[in-house]
Amino acid sequence: MEVIQILKRNLSHFLTWSLWGILIANIKKSVNFHGAEVNISNPNMPNRVKAAVFWNIYESAEARLLKKWLPANIPVVELGASLGIISKLIRSISREPMYCVEANPSVIPSIQFNLNSVTDSKHLIIQKAIHYDSDDVLFNWSSGENLTGRIDPRGTERVECITLSTILEENQLKNIVLVMDIEGAEIQIIRNDELALQKCVMIFAELHATSYQGNSYTVEEINNLIQDKGFHLLAKDGNCFAFSRTESYI
């Protein structure tokens, strides 16, 4: 099994070489990503990501769960929208308004590029960080071929914070689908925002081992905590999970 995992990782690294992205973008303007047309002429999209989208290996576990389970008739709040590629997939499925939250200022143009290409798209981009213990945080981000970032006390960019409850209140949202990939900050929502969780009909989450307020949490422990909040596990793909609210909690 370990040998197979090593081979998969090596193949993935090979398929996402920047050269592949350059070649693909010179041939095709857009590619089919799990049923959504993603425009890879986006100047803000790194070449390695263009290649990953072309081969359908970009955030593939999350994409598979959304493709199978995401309802079309409930507003979506996406925390950690990143480049907006998963956002585009969500918009290809959902007919309801979408709220994209992303702390990293360097990727906002990419989210706008992807969502502005959706006909009659109803979306709002919120450039803030999810955090429950501070009004703002320092953020570290990189540019070029590696548009990544995370909350870091040594960061150079100060980003305003927001809570999930505030997002729901400001936009008068009563029931939502929550999609989140926020590098461990999901534990803050689970520990602090019971009111917002009660408004989640479904949760799609890439879970991360993390620590919060002096306690460490494994992926499995966070999975169990979410279920303790009134959800049952629909499906799991790697560290990506799909939950549905248990009927007795509705």
- What DSSP string describes 126-173? E--EE-SS-SEEEEEE--TT---EEE-TT-SEEEEEE-HHHHHHHTT-
Question: 166 versus 148: which is more confidently predicted?
Answer: 166
Q: List, in sequence order, every residue forming a beta bridge with 165; answer none if it has no partner.
A: none
Would you say residue 222 has pLDDT above 90? yes
Percent of the chain exceeding pLDDT 90 equals 69
Residues of the chain above pLDDT 70, percent: 88
Residue 49 CB burial class (10 angstroms; 0-12, 13-18, ≥19): buried
Strands 215-217 and 157-162 come out as unpaired
Chain-centre distance for alpha carbon 42: 19
> What is the reported pTM?
0.90
Question: Residues near 169 by Cβ (< 8 Å), separated by ≥ 6?
Answer: none
On average, the pLDDT of the chain sits at: 89
- Higher-pLDDT residue of 44 and 223 is 223
Burial class (CB in 10 A: 0-12, 13-18, 19+), 15: middle
Q: What is the mean pLDDT of residues 74-97?
A: 95
Contact 126, 99 (CB under 8 A): yes
Identify the band that residue 51 occupies on the pLDDT scale cut at 50, 70 and 90.
Answer: very high
pLDDT of residue 145: 47
Among candidates 242, 245, 249, 246, which has minimal Cα distance to 69? 242
